[in-house]
Structure 1
Amino acid sequence: MNHVTSKDGTLIAYERVGRGPAVILVGGGLDDGSENAPLATELASRFTVFNYARRGRGASADTLPYAVQREIEDIAALIAEAAGPAHLFGVSSGGALVLEAAAAGLTIDKIAVYEVPYMMEEAVQERFGQYVDQLGVALREGRRGDAIALFMRLAGSSDDDIAAARNSPLWSGLAVLAPTLAYDAACLGDGRPPAARLARITQPTLVATGAVPDPHTGGLQPGFFDEAADAIAATIPKAERLIIDGQAHVADPVALSSVLERFLSR
């Protein structure tokens, strides 16, 4: 495990594998970098892959108060470590962070995002605002389990799914990451695609979704991720929209690496 020092002095942990052009992988909610580890292995034959733990996760440190700008500075530190420019790939809320980093003007080559959970329906945006308020209360009161349950319910999990998760051996690990749910929420702003900022992105950008409903997000309205992806692609000048057959919200690393290799190598 390696570390870079972000602008505010926070140590950010990352693993580096492979050789070739640099690709930085940015994880989503309740992920400490573990979810992207198989993808990093798949991409390592063609790229130098930086798979990092976002601040407050895994072996990365944290500095309060949190701000999205600090996470953008973390990515900037990784780009500097890679002797940039570098490609960026972000999944779910990590995709929103990647888009914010690009809009902020970081030295980025190409961008790819997968199933960014921006919200197109007003009712869903209202639910998201309520979630943010309730999440803040739960975290301030130290109710990390309730914070995770709120997130799962927002993502469409049923009460049975949440009860099963609470009884799972994975629950304690999720509880450690619970405070970072507020960070993911901050990356999504008010939930709507930030059109004015997205329009600043000049890099070639792949905006991808899967074609298979995910059982863990089954409570979301049909086409939730596709509508968001269409809105992103319509706003970024050099965006390319892609639906990956056979994939759900957590995509198979082999299938995903094949798509990314083709796009990033063009």
Structure 2
Amino acid sequence: MDRVTSDDGTGISFSRTGDGPALVLVHGTGVDRHVWDDVIPALGESFTVFAIDRRGRGESGDADDYAVGREFEDLTALATAVDGPVNLLGHSYGAICAIGAAPQLPDLRRLILYEPPLWRGDGTSAPSPTPEQRRMEALAERGEKEAILETYWTDLRGEPHRLDRLRSRPDYRRRVSAAHTLPREMGGRREFRPTPESYPEVAVPTLLLTGSETDDRIKRSVDAAADLFSDVRRVEIEGHGHAAMNTAPDRFVAEVIAFLAND
């Protein structure tokens, strides 16, 4: 593992695989860099792949106070440590972080966003945290991480069957380890609400990936993300949802390579 130091002094760890142009991978909520394990070997045949552990999980450090802008600074620290132009790929909340960091990267070549769950609305107001979020915040303060997952999937999402499936996965313990980041990232979505009027111009080709089976709420968020960019291409991965890098790794890699290979 390698490490860079973010602006607030937090150490941000990342793995480096392969050879070629730089491709930074930014994972989403509740996981760490290992969510990319199914696609890193194939991507590494064409790119030098930097898979980051976002702050608060994996081998990265953390800070006492969280703000989504710190995540933008983390990505900027990594990108500026890389020689030459950088391609940036973010998934879910990691795509939100990529959107926030993109205007700060002077040598950004291309941007890939896989279903960023941007806050939808007029960009000026947002509801208060839900009771479930408040409960998860209290659980995080007490270190009750499995209870956070139970609250998130059962009470907030109403999908206890999803939690049952997660418990049977080999990465479940890593998800428990990262559970304290769930409520703070819910707050991060309210904190960062870019609009076409407020978001700086990012003049690089941008690919928006969605799955045909993805929840309509996320698809509407992707629509909102599309409005932020002037040079945007959209691709739908048929038959898959929010984690095609795991459920359809070959198709996912093919779409990424095809987009990044174009001049």
TM-score with structure 2 length normalisation? 0.84
Q: What's the offset of the Cα at 1:207?
A: 1.0
Which segment drifts farther, 186-195 or 74-83? 186-195
- Asked whether the 8 Å contact 1:128–1:191 carries over to 2, the reply is no
Residue in structure 1 matched with residue 206 of structure 2 by the alignment: 205
Structure 1 residues 154, 118: closer, same or farther in 2, change over 3 A?
Answer: farther
Instruction: Name the SS of the counterpart of 2:258 in structure 1.
Output: helix
Please, which runs of 5 or more residues in structure 1 have no aligned partner?
214-221
Structure 1 residues 175, 108: closer, same or farther in 2, change over 3 A?
Answer: same
Q: What's the offset of the Cα at 1:84?
A: 3.7
Which aligned pairs between 1:2-151 and structure 2 lie closer than 5 A?
2-105=2-105, 107-120=107-120, 129-151=130-152
- Asked whether the 8 Å contact 1:14–1:51 carries over to 2, the reply is yes
Which segment drifts farther, 178-187 or 6-15? 178-187
Residue in structure 1 matched with residue 239 of structure 2 by the alignment: 246
- Asked whether the 8 Å contact 1:110–1:264 carries over to 2, the reply is yes
Residue in structure 2 matched with residue 216 of structure 1 by the alignment: none
Q: What's the offset of the Cα at 1:99?
A: 0.4
Structure 1 residues 98, 191: closer, same or farther in 2, change over 3 A?
Answer: closer
Which runs of at least 4 in structure 1 moved beyond 6 Å after TM superposition? none
Deviations 1:68-111 (A, max 9, x none): 22221211121122124301000011111100111445532111
Q: What's the offset of the Cα at 1:204?
A: 1.4
In 1, Cα distance between the equivalents of 2:121 and 2:156? 15
In 1, Cα distance between the equivalents of 2:155 and 2:243? 17
Structure 1 residues 47, 165: closer, same or farther in 2, change over 3 A?
Answer: closer
Structure 1 residues 156, 136: closer, same or farther in 2, change over 3 A?
Answer: closer
Instruction: Name the SS of the counterpart of 1:49 in structure 2.
Output: strand
In 2, Cα distance between the equivalents of 1:197 and 1:50? 29
Aligned with residue 255 of structure 2, among 253, 259, 264: 259
Q: What's the offset of the Cα at 1:126?
A: 5.1
Query: CA RMSD for the aligned pairs?
Result: 2.8
Residue in structure 1 matched with residue 178 of structure 2 by the alignment: 177
In 2, Cα distance between the equivalents of 1:154 and 1:110? 38
Instruction: Name the SS of the counterpart of 1:254 in structure 2.
Output: helix
Instruction: Name the SS of the counterpart of 2:63 in structure 1.
Output: coil
Q: What's the offset of the Cα at 1:243?
A: 0.9
Q: Which amino acid aligns with 1:32?
A: D
Structure 1 residues 164, 206: closer, same or farther in 2, change over 3 A?
Answer: closer
- Asked whether the 8 Å contact 1:37–1:51 carries over to 2, the reply is no
In 2, Cα distance between the equivalents of 1:141 and 1:156? 22
Instruction: Name the SS of the counterpart of 1:45 in structure 2.
Output: coil
- Asked whether the 8 Å contact 1:128–1:154 carries over to 2, the reply is no
Deviations 1:159-185 (A, max 9, x none): 344356568775443221112224432
- Asked whether the 8 Å contact 1:198–1:232 carries over to 2, the reply is no
TM-score with structure 1 length normalisation? 0.84
